[in-house]
């Protein structure tokens, strides 16, 4: 079926493979990504070479942080002078869809391996993220190279040199997301886990637990992005849509309050690796068209963040 999220097998492009990948594999993956990004805008990657154990370790360490009392978590709030990009965001502090009454979601952001971690209260958090995030970075470089091939541009990876090297150079963020259990009073119109939005940057790598709930708006309908264990979901952000003159789409997605009581009573976790171009990169349409006005990567991100942080 056309309106489905395809699964792309990375084969020797996965991190487990150390040699040079076959040209035929690179061509196939480039074509499959191109076709998915020009239509549904989301794709599952399999055989990416990142061990599930590393993902599960981040989920476990994150849970031990998110289950702490609010007063402790608030001590790590993001957006403080000494903690501008890294740190905690609580319920309703980031509203992605203006029509939401509440967005019941918490998150913790890290912008570099040596960022600000809640070591005192969640001692495993740092170690588990330092094991996973650099692998997501490496996988991203491989994906960007493939994407550039399909667009006949050897381009994107050189615009992302400082990915996950710190917010002063690049705003790529490793985000651990936590959707707490919901009370009966939360079951009302306008209350969601994550309001409908498109991501802001170039691409997003998303790892979900098995609770489900993510939906993707494609061809006029919401389709579920059902978790497939061992895969990573990839979607595009607005800047990649601008860059490609809308050939690639930054698909809108959301996470609603689950209908089944059992799922409302369970927390949900996910990890997003939001990939941004280096701060000073000017994003203008690669085909030379004037479909979008040039915009600086960092300026665009700041304008979106200031519209969503409360
Ligand atoms: O938790 C999810 O599955 C999606 C989160 C998301 O879309 C976001 O934080 O941008
Ligand atoms: Fe998103």
Q: Is the pLDDT at 309 greater than 90, yes or no? A: no
- Which of 259, 201, 223 is CA-nearest to residue 5? 223
The model's pLDDT over 139-198, given as tens digits with 9 standing for 90+, comes to 999 999 999 987 766 678 889 999 999 999 999 999 999 999 998 888 889 999 999 999
Pocket test of ligand 1: the residue of 195, 253, 271 to mutate, having most ligand atoms within 8 Å of its CB, is 253
Query: C-alpha dihedral over 295, 196, 101, 210, to 10 degrees?
Result: -130
Cα(236) to ligand 2 centroid in Å equals 9
Q: Is the pLDDT at 1 greater than 70, yes or no? A: no
Residue 115 DSSP SS3 = coil
Atom of ligand 1 nearest to the CA of 213: 3
Cα(197) to ligand 2 centroid in Å equals 6
Which residues, in sequence order, are CB contacts of 15 under 8 Å at separation 6+?
48, 49, 50, 135, 138, 139, 142
Cα(198) to ligand 1 centroid in Å equals 10
**Residue-level pLDDT at 261:** 86
State the pTM of this model.
0.95
Q: Give the dihedral sign, CA 73/114/274/11.
A: negative
Give yes or no for a contact between 229 and 52, defined as CB atoms under 8 angstroms apart: yes
Cα(72) to ligand 2 centroid in Å equals 26
- Nearest-CA residue for ligand 1 atom 1 is 270
Q: Is the pLDDT at 3 greater than 70, yes or no? A: no
Residue 102 DSSP SS3 = strand
**Residue-level pLDDT at 134:** 97
Cα(148) to ligand 1 centroid in Å equals 25
> What's 82-99 look like in SS3?
CECCCEEECCCCECCCCC
Please state the domain extents for the chain. 7-308
End-to-end Cα spacing for the chain: 40
**Residue-level pLDDT at 224:** 96
Ligand 1 pocket check for 272: Cβ under 6 Å? yes
**Residue-level pLDDT at 2:** 57
Look at 21 and 67; give whichever has higher pLDDT: 67
**Residue-level pLDDT at 48:** 98
Ligand 1 pocket check for 177: Cβ under 6 Å? yes
**Residue-level pLDDT at 197:** 97
DSSP lists the bridge partners of residue 215 as 224, 254
The model's pLDDT over 227-247, given as tens digits with 9 standing for 90+, comes to 999 999 999 999 999 999 999
Q: Which CATH class is domain 7-308?
A: mainly beta
The percent helix, strand, coil of the chain (3-state, each to 5) is: 30, 25, 45
Give yes or no for a contact between 87 and 79, defined as CB atoms under 8 angstroms apart: yes
Ligand 1 pocket check for 304: Cβ under 6 Å? no
- Which of 194, 202, 142, 185 is CA-nearest to residue 15? 142
DSSP code for 158: G
Report the half-sphere exposure of 271 (CA within 13 A, side-chain side): 24
Q: What percent of the chain has pLDDT over 90?
A: 83
The model's pLDDT over 44-88, given as tens digits with 9 standing for 90+, comes to 999 999 999 999 999 999 999 999 999 999 999 997 777 778 999
**Residue-level pLDDT at 167:** 94
- Nearest-CA residue for ligand 1 atom 9 is 272
């Amino acid at each position: 079926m056309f309106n489905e999220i395809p699964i792309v097998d990375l084969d020797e492009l996965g991190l487990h493979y150390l040699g040079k990948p076959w040209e035929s594999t690179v061509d196939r993956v480039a074509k499959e990504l191109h076709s998915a990004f020009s239509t549904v805008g989301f794709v599952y990657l399999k055989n990416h070479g990142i061990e599930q154990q590393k993902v599960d370790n981040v989920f476990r360490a994150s849970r031990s942080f998110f289950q702490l009392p609010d007063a402790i978590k608030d001590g790590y709030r993001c957006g403080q002078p000494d903690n501008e990009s890294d740190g905690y965001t609580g319920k309703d502090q980031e509203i992605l869809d203006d029509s939401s009454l509440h967005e019941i979601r918490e998150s913790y952001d890290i912008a570099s391996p040596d960022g600000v971690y809640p070591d005192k209260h969640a001692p495993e958090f740092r170690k588990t993220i330092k094991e996973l995030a650099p692998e997501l970075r490496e996988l991203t470089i491989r994906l960007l190279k493939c994407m550039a091939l399909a667009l006949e541009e050897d381009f994107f990876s050189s615009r992302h040199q400082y990915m996950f090297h710190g917010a002063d150079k690049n705003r790529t963020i490793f985000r651990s997301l936590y959707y707490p259990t919901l009370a009966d009073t939360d079951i009302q119109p306008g209350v969601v886990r994550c309001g409908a939005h498109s991501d802001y940057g170039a691409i997003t790598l998303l790892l979900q637990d098995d609770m489900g709930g993510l939906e993707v708006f494609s061809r006029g309908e919401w389709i579920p992005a059902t978790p497939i264990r061992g895969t990573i979901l990839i979607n595009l952000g607005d800047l990649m849509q601008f860059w490609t003159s809308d050939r690639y789409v930054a698909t809108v997605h959301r996470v609603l309050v689950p209908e089944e009581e059992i799922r409302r009573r369970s927390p949900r976790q996910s990890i997003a690796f939001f990939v941004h171009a280096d701060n000073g990169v000017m994003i203008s349409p690669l085909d030379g068209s004037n479909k979008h006005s040039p915009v600086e990567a960092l300026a665009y991100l700041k304008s979106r963040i200031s519209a969503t942080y409360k």
